[in-house]
Amino acid sequence: MKSFIKPVILFLALLLPVCVFIFLKIFGANQFDIPLYYQTVGDIPEETEEICGNVDTPYLLNLDEFELFESTSDIPLLENRITVLAYLPNLDDNHLFSMLSMNERLGTIFQMIIFTDSFSNDIFKGKNYVTFKAGENVGNFWQCGLLNNNYEKWVLIDTKRRIRGYYEVTEKEIDRLIVEIKILSENSHK
């Protein structure tokens, strides 16, 4: 009797993970989604509405606001592309490394829009970067156009011009940004 119980318990112990695997394969969906920012009336911070006035929801980035800035690129903006916006008053090695790393790891599935006065577009010739001269309107654009008080954070915009996230320029956050760009890209092709 004892010799019969051990093989049955062992068989059941091995059968359970196989059953779980088959169940998940049939009924499970490995689907990740990145949150949407500012889609309902209560989502807009009060201090932003005090400074910027009434903000429409669901919020979409207004392309007309880019006309306030002089572009140093001839690449079209946000044409159904995942976009990262960055304000870089001074391009340091950390920012340069992060941008080039993203370009190397992601290729052309995203576009990067950079607001700066500190470098020319020659660094990124042939890449998917658009540069604008920051000028005096960049603070207002960052606060009211991107609803972001922290100018050091990069902003992720999806193909429908919705804000999908804010990211600090650290290795961990850039890795998270790259993963989320890949997820958005895969979800947009479905």
Tokens 């320029």, residue?
A: 169
Question: What are the tens digits of pLDDT across the range 62-109?
Answer: 877 777 777 766 666 666 788 898 887 776 777 777 877 787 788 778
Segment among 24-38, 42-56, 71-85, 163-177 with least mean pLDDT: 71-85
| Amino acid letter, 65 | E
DSSP at 107: T
Average pLDDT (126-134) is: 73
Q: Is the dihedral of CA 32, 173, 159, 41 positive or negative?
A: positive
CATH topology (fold) of 37-188: Glutaredoxin (3.40.30)
Put simply, whether the predicted model's pTM sits higher than 0.85 gets the answer no
pLDDT, position 165? 92
Q: How confident is the model at residue 166 (pLDDT cuts 50, 70, 90)?
A: very high
- Whether the predicted pLDDT of 143 surpasses 70: yes
CB 163 within 8 A of CB 44: no
Tokens 């889609």, residue?
A: 39
Return the closest-CA partner of residue 111 out of 140, 93, 134, 131: 131
- Whether the predicted pLDDT of 126 surpasses 60: no
- Whether the predicted pLDDT of 167 surpasses 90: yes
